[in-house]
Amino acid sequence: MKMFKRFAAALLAGVMVLAMLTACGGNGDAVAKTDEQKMEDAYLVIANGMFGTDLQNNASLQTSAKNYLDANLENDGTLKEGKSFFAPLSTNPDKDGNISFVMIMVDNTGNPLGLTSEELAQFDDSDAVNAAIAQTRAQVKATMIQSGASEAQADAVLAAMKDAVKAIGVGSLKKTDKVYTAVAVSVAASVMGGGSGNTAQ
């Protein structure tokens, strides 16, 4: 459970990267992409950066993430009554020994994070994205140390995340004028502890 909380914290810390970038201003994307594609590309880079991985957007997990957004968000982007920001996709290990979960990205007020087309334009600056990721990873490490971990222990946690994350799927949907995102992650059950079977709706 402690490791799961750290995975979730790393994903949510990625929202700090988004906040840094959308506060800076920037230019539009020269490549024709939908806002949903821009957000998926951006958060995949961020998730890889936070976990220290180099993974592609897994098609199956991407579909699960989009389906979870569609099932849990109202048309105005608010969370549906009785729904959750997080759910396990599977808690029994699959044939490769992995389990998966999905999480809707939220802002600093605890509401679903929605970005406009103008805000998404900031992700064109790859140098700024990478700098924001590095800064956020440093902040995550500092938070662990402030909570009582040694520097070596904090480094070990970050390294364990890299080894444990097996696949990432980022899915985005546009609701009114904003794009919302969920991230589905498959991780080694040996790190997360496994559990009883369950499927997210």
pLDDT given at position 83: 95
Residue 68 CB neighbour total at 10 angstroms:
26
- Please report whether residue 147 resides in a domain: yes
- Please report whether residue 199 resides in a domain: no
pLDDT given at position 26: 46
What is the 3-class SS of the chain, one letter each residue? CHHHHHHHHHHHHHHHHHHHHHCCCCCCCCCCCCHHHHHHHHHHHHHHHHHCCCCCECHHHHHHHHHHHHHHECCCCCECCCCCCEEEEECCCCCCCEEEEEEECECCCCCECEECHHHHHHHHCHHHHHHHHHHHHHHHHHHHHHCCCCHHHHHHHHHHHHHHEEEEEEEEEEECCEEEEEEEEEEEHHHHCCCCCCCCC
- Please report whether residue 91 resides in a domain: yes
Return per-residue pLDDT of the chain as tens, 201 residues. Answer: 455 566 666 666 665 666 555 544 444 444 568 999 989 988 888 888 888 899 999 999 999 999 999 999 999 999 999 999 999 997 789 999 999 999 999 887 889 999 998 888 777 777 877 887 888 888 888 888 888 889 998 888 888 888 889 999 999 999 999 999 999 999 988 876 544 444 444
- Please report whether residue 200 resides in a domain: no
- Please report whether residue 201 resides in a domain: no
Q: Which domain holds residue 104?
A: 2-192
pTM: 0.81
- Please report whether residue 198 resides in a domain: no
What total number of domains does the chain contain?
1
- Please report whether residue 197 resides in a domain: no
- Please report whether residue 111 resides in a domain: yes
pLDDT given at position 152: 92
